[in-house]
Amino acid sequence: MFFGGVIITLSSRISKFVLTVFSMLALFVAFTFGHASNAKASVNYGEEVSQVAKRYLNTPYKWGGTTPKGFDASGFTQYVYKKAATKKEIPRTSTLQYKEGKSIKQKQLNQGDLVFYATGKKGVVSFVAIYNGDGTFTGVTMDGVKVVKMNGKYWKDRYIGAKRIIK
């Protein structure tokens, strides 16, 4: 009986050892010769810009502001583009930002595009915001950073155009 117990214990140890070695060998072969996925995560920069902009909702308006302590419209868009995955540097003022990128029609808007308005003198760019992709933009109003519907009468009547700054 004692002799049989030793064989069973020894056999059990050998089986575990063989199983461990076999498993390690199988993993080695799988990693070495298997087809590894070449999938790469791609960033939708426009979507990401829109999401970064929304992080600053309710940040106060500040004339000439360029930081989360307080923004004006173009200071906000400049800040968001630089902080987003785009790391894109755009000019400081809405007038200069309007000279950047590719002009696009309103029906072609994508998330992250810049939308421009004349909030002062008619036809003169004085406001910029970031399009969200759902008929809204995130921008700095007198009440701070807000999500605003573009089809509201005030904004609809002052729309000048849009620019695609990122691809």
Dump pLDDT digits (tens) for 93-141. 999 999 999 999 999 999 999 999 999 999 999 999 999 999 999 999 9
Q: Is 135 within 8 Å of 83 (Cβ atoms)?
A: no
Domains of the chain: 45-164 (3.90.1720.10)
Q: Name the pTM for this structure.
A: 0.75
Supply the pLDDT for residue 7: 46
Q: What is the DSSP letter of 61?
A: B
Q: Is 95 within 8 Å of 89 (Cβ atoms)?
A: no
Alpha-carbon Rg for the chain in angstroms: 29
Q: What is the pLDDT of residues 25-84, one digit of tens each?
A: 555 555 555 554 454 566 799 999 999 999 999 999 999 999 999 999 999 999 999 999
